[in-house]
Amino acid sequence: MVVQYKCPNCGADMAFDSKSGKLTCDSCGREETIGTMPQSNISYQSTDNKNYFKENEANEYKCNNCGASLITDSLTSATRCSFCGAGVVLADRLSGKLAPSLVIPFKISKDQAKEAFKTWCKKGLLTPKGFMNADRITSITGLYVPFWLYDLDCDGEANATCTKVRTYEQGDYIVTETSYFNVYRRVKLEYDRVPQDASEKMDDQLMERLEPYHYHELKDFQMPYLAGFIAEKYSYDDKSLLSKVKQRVSRYVENYIHSTILGYTTTTYTTKNISVAQKKAHYVLLPVWMVCYDYKKAQHTFAMNGQTGKIVGKPPLSFGKILLMFTGISTLSFLIMQLITIIAGGMS
Amino acid sequence: MFAVFAKKHRILLSSFTLFLLILCLIPPSYIKASKEDSKIYDYYQLFEEDEKQDLEETLNQYSDEGEVDIIVITTDDLEGKSKQVYMEDFYDFNALGYDKEFGDTVLLMLYMNPNDRSVEIQGYKSAEHYINNQRIEAILDEIVPFLSNGDYTSAIKKYAELAADYMKREVPAPPKSSPSDNRNPSSSNTVPNYNSNHTNLSNQYETPLLNPLYQLIASFIIGGITVGIMAYNSGGRITTNNRTYLNESNSALVAHHDIYLRTTTKRVQKPKNDDNNIGGGHTGGGTSSGGHSHSGGGRGF
């Protein structure tokens, strides 16, 4: 099932505009609020069951405009027609079990993303000069990445032996007094909407670095948000990713417990019990700009948080700059220490 | 470099005042006496006259043998200086040396203050090379038992014998030093070798924190870590932490206790043969206010 949004004015294809948060027509500039888009202007490929789509009912999709085959892989849920450029949404891949409950729409437009990326390249203190100046973005793609947001109940319990050490001098002796304590902590914690990327194509670490997304801008999912962007459906369901999230949150709980044990010199845990239970998982689409960048014949891929503009990805590093930085910082700290020496020498 | 200058400046100033003070205090006849071939400066009057004669002979004999001025000082009054500085000033003031003024000299001082009885040895000029810090430690190992038993004459004879012996034996090349450090022993006025140079640095500053060498190493570590973190974070930092997704209103510490179990106490005697001055023993040379660098070492007995 292919869905396209036609401009009520001129009939051209409309796309979601990150700036206004509305569907916008590129040809005549008409804006249409997402909730009020007239049904008659939503073009469906098959007209008999407008409001109900079965999951994954078709394997091949055709553009409503030009009839060309849409080149998609099995996970794509929104794309652009590679012939006429119309933004199309594959509705059956967003329905039933595959229907996202929430979405954060793009807030950063393509041009802003390009600009932000260029600024970021220039900011890199260790990146080679050529990388900073060159303007070789080969492609920039707005992508809605499927995520699961988990609500979790955590119960953490820990026993530890802690010590307080006091050292003082007594005559010719150095006395070390070590006091031992049995320390117990139990915490009940609730973690809300912990994200886990559900797309197998995306690098988990890269996605984790993109966080955090600001959840106050989460919207109930509606298909028009995807118009003009690429979207994917999840490749893993919430159950199969739960263990990953549990691992991550267990770490959080451990840190939390540790932060409640204060005032000791050493802490040695004897027992630790942490249980994490899933209360709920929300299927959401989060906006990511993927930037491919050509540098010295190698492709570098960067990801940008489509809401906050945070950029992640490994830029090339310049050996010369690293050396320069290292020398600079070392010299500076040496001078500071020398200064301290003079001050200390002056006082004694 | 500034620090060294400031440090020297301060020492210069204070030692100059002290120098004037000493000039006023010491009778002229003594200055004359010190210029003679006396090896023992027994201000504490530790030795009987005949003992002194005997030692004087022994020291002269070993001095000739080792071609080095082997000097002994006994005192319980440092005139407000540290032991090292007192000896440095002593060397500068008396212009000691075997073949010439400010020449090859090894100094031993018995500090007889009842609160801090200790022995200190310093080597100047070629004695800085031949009687380096390690060898001073070896000499101290030999003589401290005598001193502890109150057998001062035997201790001094042993010291003279070892000093003369060491002057004739080449120092094994210290590890890590370049071949040029293994220089010809006959050139007595050469720059101190790698080893003593290194220890000079470590002794000139009260704490390792003020030592330029350590500071240099520390700055390299700081630089390395900073650049490492920068390189690691060049791909974007993780800005979420264990509080980012925490629902504070539904989270709490629900139970806790801190039960005192026991206290253990460990008493350790303050180190005696340590590198720092607290225990009375130390190793390391320095530079006198007159600009003469030396090796050194001492310990209590």
- Are residues A330 and B242, on separate chains, in Cβ contact within 8 Å? no
Q: Is B24 on the interface with A (CB under 8 A)?
A: no
Return the pLDDT at A45. Answer: 64
Average pLDDT over chain A, rounded to whole? Answer: 85
| pLDDT band, residue B279 (cuts 50/70/90) | very low
User: How far, in Å, CA of A337 to CA of B27, rounded?
Assistant: 46
**Computed from CA positions of residues B98, B103, B106, B111, in that sequence, does the dihedral angle turn out positive or negative?**
positive
User: How far, in Å, CA of A69 to CA of A58, rounded?
Assistant: 12
Cβ neighbours of B12 in A, within 8 Å: none
Rounded average pLDDT over A117-122? 82
Q: Find out whether B299 and B145 touch, Cβ atoms under 8 Å.
A: no
**Amino acid residing at A286:** L
Return the pLDDT at B186. Answer: 40
| pLDDT band, residue A114 (cuts 50/70/90) | confident
Cβ neighbours of B1 in A, within 8 Å: 338
Q: Is B40 helix (H, G, I), strand (E, B) or coil?
A: strand
Query: pLDDT at residue A76 above 70?
Result: yes
Calculate the alpha carbon distances from A187 to A152, A184, A255, A262, B208 in Å: 14, 10, 11, 15, 45
Q: What does residue B30 show for φ and ψ, rounded to 5 degrees?
A: -65, -45
Of A101-115, B212-226, B266-280, minimum mean pLDDT range: B266-280
- Between residues 233 and 292 of chain B, which touch chain A (CB distance below 8 Å)? 234-242, 244-247, 250-270
- Are residues B236 and A191, on separate chains, in Cβ contact within 8 Å? no
> Assign residue A119 a region: left if phi > 0, alpha if psi is -120 to 50, beta otherwise?
alpha
Return the pLDDT at A182. Answer: 95
Calculate the alpha carbon distances from A137 to A110, A133, B163, B236 in Å: 12, 12, 76, 19
- Are residues B3 and A342, on separate chains, in Cβ contact within 8 Å? yes
Q: Where are the beta strands (DSSP E) in chain B?
A: 40-42, 69-75, 105-111, 118-124, 252-269, 282-283, 286-287, 293-300
Cβ neighbours of B210 in A, within 8 Å: 341, 344-345
Tens digits of residue pLDDT in B187-244: 334 334 434 444 444 444 556 666 778 888 888 999 999 988 888 888 788 888 888 8
Return the pLDDT at B292. Answer: 83
- Are residues B234 and A212, on separate chains, in Cβ contact within 8 Å? no
| pLDDT band, residue B272 (cuts 50/70/90) | low
Tens digits of residue pLDDT in B158-180: 899 988 888 888 887 655 444 44
- Are residues B227 and A325, on separate chains, in Cβ contact within 8 Å? yes
Query: pLDDT at residue B291 above 90?
Result: no
The rounded percent of chain A whose pLDDT value lies above 90 is: 31
**Computed from CA positions of residues A330, A335, A340, A342, in that sequence, does the dihedral angle turn out positive or negative?**
positive
- Are residues B240 and A253, on separate chains, in Cβ contact within 8 Å? no
DSSP lists the bridge partners of residue A276 as A154
| Cis geometry, peptide bond prior to residue B212 (ω within 30 degrees of 0) | no
Average pLDDT over chain B, rounded to whole? Answer: 75
Q: Closest chain B residue to A126 measured between Cα atoms?
A: B231
| pLDDT band, residue B37 (cuts 50/70/90) | low
Which of A188, A193, A212 is facing B254, going by the closest CB pair?
A188
Return the pLDDT at A156. Answer: 94
Return the pLDDT at B7. Answer: 42
User: How far, in Å, CA of A116 to CA of A234, rounded?
Assistant: 28
Of A61-75, A159-173, B173-187, B233-247, minimum mean pLDDT range: B173-187
**Amino acid residing at B239:** T
User: How far, in Å, CA of A225 to CA of A20, rounded?
Assistant: 12
Predicted interface score ipTM higher than 0.85: no
The rounded percent of chain B whose pLDDT value lies above 90 is: 9
Q: What is the DSSP string of B232-275?
A: HHTT------TTTTB-GGG-EEEEEEEEEEEEEEEEEEPPSSSS
Describe the strand order of the beta sheet including A31-32 as a list of residue ranges: A14-17, A22-25, A31-32
The residues, any chain, with a CB within 8 Å of residue B275's CB and separated by 6 or more, are: B282, B283, B284
Query: pLDDT at residue B20 above 80?
Result: no
Residue in A192, A326, A331, A340 to test binding to B, most B beta-carbons within 10 Å = A326
Q: Closest chain B residue to A164 measured between Cα atoms?
A: B263
Return the pLDDT at A255. Answer: 93
Of A34-38, A94-98, A233-237, B89-93, minimum mean pLDDT range: A34-38
Rounded average pLDDT over A222-232? 87
